[in-house]
Structure formats: C-alpha cells, structure tokens
C-alpha cells in the first residue's frame, strides 16, 4: 500500500444568495439554480472539475440557516473551505454560522468576495467584517487569502482555482487507493426507478462496480457508479464524488461506506487506533496528576442524581401535534426532524419516499397530519386522504416548510399566537330564562359582534370556545356591542360552563 496524491475536496459555504451555486454553474457550464425551488440549493451536491489538467472536487452546501447540519457535514469531509461573501451584502447570519464550522473543521480557508461586478461594492468592508468575527484575512492581521470574483461573469474565477491548486500543492493531500474503502455518504434518497441511491465522497481506498459494500448496517452491491456530470464510472478513488446505485435500503447521511470483503482489516485498524488512543489518554492522565485525572461527578457537585422531577405528573401531559414526515432525500428529512420540538410534536413516522396507503391509515389512526418535501402525491393517495379527512401538505422550499412547522409548534405552545383580539367583556351575572342560561356582560375593550369567534377565559386559562346564539340590550336584539355597554348573551353551546368573573374574548385568526 502506498500513499498517492488525491484531488482536494473543497466545500463552498456562505449565506443564502451569495453565489455558491452560481460559481459551480460557471465551473460546470450548467445552470443548476433554475432547477432549485426558491432559487436556493435544497440538497448537498458534489461535483468534480479540472484545473490545468488536475481534478478538484467541490461540495456545494446549502446556505439557508435550516441546513446547519448539512454545512457541518460538508466541513467534516473537506480539505479546503471557500467562504463566499457577497461584496454588496457583507457578513450575514449564515456567514457567521459558516465561520463557526470553519473553525471547528480546521480546514484550510479561502475567502471569495463575490459580486464585485456590481456598482458601489466594498470588498474592504467585507474583510473588516470578517475580522470582527475573528476570521483574519491578509491585510487585516491574518494569513487567509481573499480572491475577488464575479461568479456570474467568471471574473477572478481562474485566480480562485489557482489559489485552491496552490493550497492543495502545499498541503500534499494524499490517500491510499489500495487501503480498505472508506467513503462518506453526503446525501441519500430513494428513486422510483433506480431504488436506493447514495451520493458519496471516497476518503480512502477505491469504490468499484460489483463491489459488496456496507454503510453502517445497510448492505448492498454496487450496480452502477455515476459521476458528478452524470457519466458512468467503473471506479472512484480517493477524493472522487460518486452516486452509488445498489444499496438494499437508503443509508443514513454521514454513514461510512466500507468494503464488505475487508471487514477483518477494519477491525484490525480499529483495534490499533483504540490501543493508541488508550495509551494517549493514560499518558495525559498521568501528567495531569491524581486529582485532575479523576472525573468530576454530579454527586460531587452536590446534585442528587437519584431523584428526577416528574413534570408531567405535576403539571399534566402537554398537548402534542402529531405528524408524519415524508421527504425525497435523507438529508432533508434530518434537517426537518432537527427543527421539531419533541415536547410539542410527536413524529408518528419519518421516512424517505412517497406517501403511501399505510401512511394515510396511520394518520387516520393517530390523528396525525402529513407533511412532504419535494414529493408528488398520486391522485389515488390524494383521494384516499380526502375521504379519510387527512391533510397532506407538500413543500418545495425548505425554509417555507420550517417556518410553517415552527408556526404550528408555536400554536401548541401558545394557542392564541395567530389571533388578533377584537374585544373583551366580563360576565357580571348569570341567570336563567325559560330554561336557557344567559350571561349578563359588560364590555371592557373593543367591540364584540354576534358573528365573532369567542374564547371563554377564566383567569389566564381558556376554558372553552363559544359561539353567540343571541345578543340583547334590554329587550332589543343587537348584532354588536362596544364601548362600556352592557348586554346579555346566549350561546349555541347549551352546556357551556360560564360563570361570574369569566371573560369573553372576541378574536379573528390572522392568516
């Protein structure tokens, strides 16, 4: 076995719409942006280009905040990070988030200041802003190189590629193509025609067609390898991206793909690595001395570790939103699940693939709603869902899904979050006429109409929702009341348990 030079793996990071995918468009002479809903990258992709006869592997990570985990994944497999910052926009929230991942990854960094073709841009402002976030470029107290480019027009892109090539040459990135295979799954999905698919980058060894492989617990045999430009590959060596067809199931994003025929070699490597790690830990503990070598415990800090407070027993179980989540790829599913509050949402099922009859049956049984991403629901399933009273919502833009999901969660935590208060009235007296209970009320604020939706509140708690049957002022029937007027009201809910001191709150739901 011998170490050989391999292509550098370059991750492009940055804020939404700062030009990451546009740069790859220029390099690949394709137009991926038009294929992305909302104009942002929805999935992580890996592509290879050549510069002066040498390959460079690029990972295009999504820029939206919801894809935090995907950016972390990109940083874990990369050698060089190109941080894209728009000269007309400067450092933004996802830029700052990317800087944090850059520091965690310990990868080499190049800053590409994009959109310099626009008028009145200020590249120096960008450099100063980066310095404020402890990313120090040349001329601002650091060694990080900056390259001014226009990804749209291609200006400065050759210089960027040259900077990447020089960085790779200085670092001498190497791997052994004959070593046991290790490839990282950066995206996975289930295709209706080709079955489970995994997009990987080979870290060491060689991935070959007809090779028996394992990605954690998912087995497979490589039926086909597809390159970043859609070309068929016979094999993929270190630093090479490829789409793998042949898994029996969809492997998890971040899973390591190994050669099933060389499991003993992996065990031997793991054993050697474990022994080395243990020796290192023992050495550090010895140097630290007997006191610092002892781990601190919760008990030592005065915390009772045997007692756990039961919040549900004390306060009652919270109402939860039940949900079934279906997506086209594993990575997006992971992002959605990360944005779900477990205290407020119960995920009945989460899986890759189209909505099935089983999903509808499960939703009907559990009362769950169904949300999907980048999926088409068949006419048969739509009809079945309609008959069963099940709501299926599909999304094509991830941040719209996340925003709606967070709004639903807020609605659980605070039921009136999307309501606008129209008027309030206090119940001063409760009496009965001809067997019908009447609430004698006085207006406190705003206006209440007969057609308004009403909450019946006792203190800060909503006791029930009411609908007005009739409103009377003296002997006159009225349709609305405002100011400090008094009125009597009966409700369509004949068994409504209203009492003196309760408050009627009229509201409308804000779309």
Q: Are strands 453-458 and 436-449 parallel, antiparallel or unpaired?
A: unpaired
Instruction: Please give the Cα distance from 7 to 173 (Å, whole number).
Output: 7
Contact partners, residue 173, CB within 8 Å, separation at least 6: 5, 6, 7, 8, 79, 239
Instruction: Please give the Cα distance from 314 to 307 (Å, whole number).
Output: 15
**CATH hierarchy code of domain 319-413:** 3.40.50.10050
Kindly state the helix (H) or strand (E) to which residue 325 belongs, with its residue range: strand 321-327
Write the DSSP string, 57-118. Answer: EEEE---SGGGHHHHHHHHHH-SEEEEEEETTT-S-HHHHHHHHHHHHHT-EEEEEEE-TTS
Query: What is the structure's pLDDT at 202?
Result: 95
Contact call for residues 39 and 16 (beta carbons, < 8 A): no
Query: What is the structure's pLDDT at 481?
Result: 95
Query: What is the structure's pLDDT at 312?
Result: 39
Query: What is the structure's pLDDT at 86?
Result: 94
**CATH hierarchy code of domain 4-174:** 3.40.50.300
Contact call for residues 62 and 43 (beta carbons, < 8 A): yes
Query: What is the structure's pLDDT at 288?
Result: 47
Q: How far is CA 135 from the centre of its chain?
A: 25
Q: How far is CA 270 from CA 58, 76, 217, 276, 385, in A?
A: 29, 19, 17, 10, 50
Instruction: Please give the Cα distance from 259 to 266 (Å, whole number).
Output: 9
Query: What is the structure's pLDDT at 321?
Result: 82
3-state helix, strand, coil in the chain (%, to 5): 30, 35, 35
**Where, residue-wise, is CATH 2.40.30.10 in the chain?**
182-263, 419-509
Query: What does the block give as tokens for 314?
Result: 């004390």
CATH architecture of the domain with range 419-509 = Beta Barrel (2.40)
Q: What is the pLDDT along the chain (511 residues), one digit of tens a residue?
A: 589 999 999 989 888 888 888 888 888 774 444 555 555 555 667 888 888 888 899 887 665 555 566 566 665 788 999 999 999 999 998 888 888 888 877 789 999 999 999 998 989 999 999 999 999 999 998 999 999 999 999 999 999 999 999 999 999 999 999 999 999 988 888 887 888 999 999 999 999 999 999 998 899 999 999 887 778 899 999 999 999 999 999 998 888 999 999 988 888 887 777 656 555 555 554 444 444 333 333 333 333 333 333 333 343 445 678 899 999 888 888 888 887 877 778 899 999 999 999 899 899 888 899 999 999 999 999 999 999 889 899 998 887 888 788 777 776 766 766 788 999 999 999 999 888 999 999 999 999 999 999 999 999 888 899 999 999 998 899 999 998 899 999 999 988 899 999 999 999 987 6
**Where, residue-wise, is CATH 3.40.50.300 in the chain?**
4-174
**Fold type of domain 182-263:** Elongation Factor Tu (Ef-tu); domain 3 (2.40.30)
């Amino acid at each position: 076995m011998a170490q050989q030079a391999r292509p550098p793996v370059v991750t492009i990071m940055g804020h939404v719409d700062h030009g990451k995918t546009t740069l790859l468009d220029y390099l690949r002479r394709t137009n991926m942006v038009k294929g992305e809903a909302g104009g942002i990258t929805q999935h992580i992709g890996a592509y290879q280009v050549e510069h002066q006869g040498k390959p460079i592997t690029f990972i295009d990570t999504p820029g939206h905040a919801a894809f935090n985990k995907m950016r972390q994944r990109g940083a874990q497999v990369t050698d060089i990070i190109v941080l894209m910052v728009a000269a007309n926009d400067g450092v933004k929230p996802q830029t700052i988030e990317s800087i944090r991942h850059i520091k965690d990854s310990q990868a080499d960094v190049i800053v590409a200041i994009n959109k310099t073709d626009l008028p009145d841009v200020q590249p120096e402002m960008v450099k100063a802003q980066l310095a404020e976030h402890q990313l120090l470029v040349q001329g601002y107290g650091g060694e990080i190189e900056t390259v001014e480019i226009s990804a749209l027009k291609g200006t400065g892109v050759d210089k960027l590629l040259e900077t990447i090539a020089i960085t790779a040459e200085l670092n001498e990135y190497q791997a052994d193509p004959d070593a046991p295979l290790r490839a990282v799954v950066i995206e996975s999905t289930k295709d209706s025609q080709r079955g489970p698919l995994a997009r990987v980058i080979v870290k060491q060894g060689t991935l070959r067609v007809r090779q028996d492989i394992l990605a954690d617990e998912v087995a497979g045999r490589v039926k086909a390898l597809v390159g970043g430009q859609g070309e068929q590959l016979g094999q993929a060596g270190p630093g090479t991206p490829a789409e793998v067809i042949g898994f029996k199931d969809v492997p998890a994003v971040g899973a390591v793909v190994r050669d099933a025929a060389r499991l003993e070699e992996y065990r031997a490597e793991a054993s050697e690595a474990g022994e080395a790690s243990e020796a290192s830990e023992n050495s550090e503990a010895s140097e630290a001395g007997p006191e610092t070598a002892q781990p601190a415990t919760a008990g030592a800090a005065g915390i009772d570790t045997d007692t756990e407070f039961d919040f549900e027993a004390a306060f009652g179980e919270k109402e939860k939103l039940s949900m079934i989540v279906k997506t086209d790829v594993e990575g997006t599913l992971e992002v959605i699940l990360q944005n779900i509050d477990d205290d407020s949402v119960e995920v009945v099922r989460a899986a890759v693939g189209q909505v099935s009859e089983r999903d509808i049956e499960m939703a009907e049984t559990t009362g769950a709603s169904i949300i999907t991403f980048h999926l088409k629901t068949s006419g048969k399933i739509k009809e079945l869902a309609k008959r069963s009273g099940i709501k299926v919502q599909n999304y094509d833009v991830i941040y719209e899904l996340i925003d709606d999901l967070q709004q639903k969660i807020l609605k659980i935590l605070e039921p009136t979050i999307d309501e606008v208060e129209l008027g309030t009235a206090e119940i001063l007296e409760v009496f009965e006429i001809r067997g019908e209970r009447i609430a004698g009320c006085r207006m406190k604020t705003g206006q209440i109409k007969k057609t308004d939706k009403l909450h019946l509140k006792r203190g800060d708690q909503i006791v029930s929702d009411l609908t007005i049957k009739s409103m009377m002022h003296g002997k006159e029937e009225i349709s609305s009341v405002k100011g400090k007027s008094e009125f009597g009201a009966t409700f369509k809910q004949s068994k409504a348990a209203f009492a003196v001191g309760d408050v009627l709150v009229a509201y409308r739901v804000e779309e």
